[in-house]
Structure 1
């Protein structure tokens, strides 16, 4: 019985942790005004007929806060890289100098910042829903246990405490991201 209880609590914590990690990955893709190599992380390039991630055919760097530099390992890939950036629909206009592809990241407008903050809030809400679903799942597993009602109540309280902790963590992550987005 102890093992079942431990398993339920551990798997619930693991699922809630996964929801928070997923949120963090999603928020990395929401740009906050300064150039980052993760902004082009979703770009796929046609490489010998196969869609390949940009990072596998070029060196991506940020020489300053407003520029992304993409140095392909084969110069013939420059047009394909530009095409991949356009197809990824990132809102960037790539330029090339014959050696590399350069993307100037425009500063965000106030309206765009608000949009991005709203997007971040939606992602955080999705993570909270995931955590609450994990709580619901754990509580239904607890109800099926063959233990006293008092024990079930205590376990449900433990799960609720865990849920509150993760929801608070999600709120903190969101607050930090909103601050990062809204800072000019």
Structure 2
């Protein structure tokens, strides 16, 4: 059986406790889109964006994995199917970023910035909605994988390190496109 695609969803773990807020609704929509395509949603397993995205995935029968910062697997939110306690605190951000075939960032603060940075270091596609914008230079290593002069498929929007999108469907579409294109190069 082929390995399932994993998409990491990252964003603020606090200040979005209200599942009716715009950012929480967006995270739920991202979670639903990921699950509807048969991918596994990976996140930090706690509240905020993580809870909302996992809720969206579960609403349509998706699989969710939470890499929780502490040692108690029961600390994960109620929408997490598989809770993996890391005992690493914020250092678990490396695991979250590395676990996804692509990373979708929604809003977020410094923890989200660290996850974006780790994903780019690992040369993972990073798609963002209303999140950090990093200079092109940070993404140069990934784009250097293409033959001389060839632009990444999809056009000029790939000139930035974080691929900007405006809605859940577009973000998940880009994530899957970039995963597919990346696998064709290897």
TM-score band w.r.t. shorter chain: under 0.3
Structure whose alpha-carbon radius of gyration is higher? 1
Answer 1 or 2: higher relative contact order, Cα 8 Å, separation at least 6. 1
TM-score (structure 1 length as normaliser): 0.25
TM-score (structure 2 length as normaliser): 0.24
